[in-house]
Amino acid sequence: MPFTLTDEQHAIRRAARDFAENEIAPVAREYDENFTYPRDVIETAAQHDFAARTVPAEYGGAGMDVTSSVVVTEELWRADPGIANAIDGVAFATNVSLLERYGDEWMREEWFPKFVSADALAAIAISEPGHGSDIGGIETRAEQDGDEWVLNGAKTWISNGTKADVVIVVAKTDSGEGHRGLSCFLVPTETDGYEAERIENKLGLHASDLADVHLDDMTVPAANLVGEENRGFYHLMDVLAPGRVEVAAQAVGTAQAALDAAISYATQREQFNRPISEFQAIRHSIAEMETAVEAARSLTYRAAARCDEGANDATRIASAAKLFASERAVEVADDAVQIHGGAGYVTDFPAERYYRDARALPIFEGTSEIQKNVIAKGLL
């Protein structure tokens, strides 16, 4: 099926690229080296409608569809994955889709406008020390006590865990039922019993926040249940596709950045009295990188369009896009380091940063292996 962007989406791309080149790229290296959380850039992003960009217009948002949001994602990540990850984390597509589809009206009215202005930040806490891919094994418990729920447990790898104002927590509400006994809760982080500790020793995405979270007798009103009790797993599965397409777009942006860096270096660096871009080995490597980026981009935009159409195969194609684009990003970033030679191994050039940042992409929002399981299940 042919796919083209609308005039409006081309305009969104130009605006996102301007913003990314002016506000993100100049501070990318500094924020990475100092592990600086980019609160200032996030605020500017919000002024340009790039934070929480899928929030519907009735709550003050830009109301971008998946395709338009993916255009923005690609451009932000091309400028710097770490800062872009923090901007995406204001209210990642999965959180917005979950609240849009299954949340109560008061949740959207209270939180969506604050996400749009970046006055409030969100997170989603699914993963635990003992259960990552195996969501059904989640041990965090939520027990009903009159008009309240009491939550206890430990979560890990939570993006925005120490920065978020509100977190969607996935907890077990029926001990015997595996993934059929999970529920989602909207939890303001100022609630007593919420504690988050920043994970400092990560490989890449230094400018964004990652945390361990502990819930200790944390009590929220019964009204904070998102959707139906014991249906949380199914609610999440219903909204994962746009989030996975977003990660595919993050991968396309990262791979494009690595390709840009490789071309720039290859045309400047001279060996044997000529630019290394004149050697066939380097030219072929760049040609293969470009082919991988374009193929990943095509699949990503096709998956975004399938999400926007509400197509039956959107989940499967979103997983295929996430799988393919994230693995290509790792390969292209690796090729970019190789083209830089020794200069690819130090922070003087951005190639090493892209190499570190890209490595998260085949892991979060469901690993490559889990995407393959989803694709096979959809077909078989």
Ligand X SMILES: Cc1cc2nc3c(=O)[nH]c(=O)nc-3n(C[C@H](O)[C@H](O)[C@H](O)COP(=O)(O)OP(=O)(O)OC[C@H]3O[C@@H](n4cnc5c(N)ncnc54)[C@H](O)[C@@H]3O)c2cc1C
By CB under 6 A, name the binding residues for ligand X.
Answer: 123-127, 132-133, 157-159, 205, 210, 360, 363-364, 366-367, 369-370, 373
By C-beta, is 126 or 184 nearer to ligand X? 126
- The nearest distance, CB 248 to ligand X, in angstroms, is 15
Catalytic position from the list 190, 228, 365, 369: 365
Residue with smaller CB distance to ligand X, 203 or 346: 203
What's the min distance (Å) between Cβ of 206 and ligand X?
11
Q: How far is the CB of 116 from ligand X (least distance, A)?
A: 20
By beta-carbon proximity to ligand X, the closer residue of 298 and 373 is 373
Measured from the CB atom, the residue of 157 and 301 that comes closer to ligand X is: 157
**Residue whose C-beta lies closest to ligand X:** 132
- Least CB distance from residue 9 to ligand X, whole Å? 27
Q: Smaller CB distance to ligand X: residue 107 or 361?
A: 361
Query: In the complex, what is the shortest distance from the CB of residue 372 to ligand X, in angstroms, rounded to a whole number?
Result: 8
What string of H, E and C letters represents the secondary structure of the chain? CCCCCCHHHHHHHHHHHHHHHHHHHHHHHHHHHHCCCCHHHHHHHHHCCCCCCCCCHHHCCCCCCHHHHHHHHHHHHHHCHHHHHHHHCCCCHHHHHHHHHHCCHHHHHHHHHHHHCCCCCEEEECCCCCCCCCHHHCCCEEEEECCEEEEEEEEEEEECCCCCCEEEEEEECCCCCHHHHEEEEEEECCCCCEEEEECCCCCCCCCCCEEEEEEEEEEEEHHHEECCCCEHHHHHHHHHHHHHHHHHHHHHHHHHHHHHHHHHHHHHCEECCEEHHHCHHHHHHHHHHHHHHHHHHHHHHHHHHHHHHCCCCHHHHHHHHHHHHHHHHHHHHHHHHHHHHHHHHCCCCCHHHHHHHHCCCCCCCCCHHHHHHHHHHHHC
The verdict on whether 246 is a catalytic residue reads no
Catalytic residues: 365
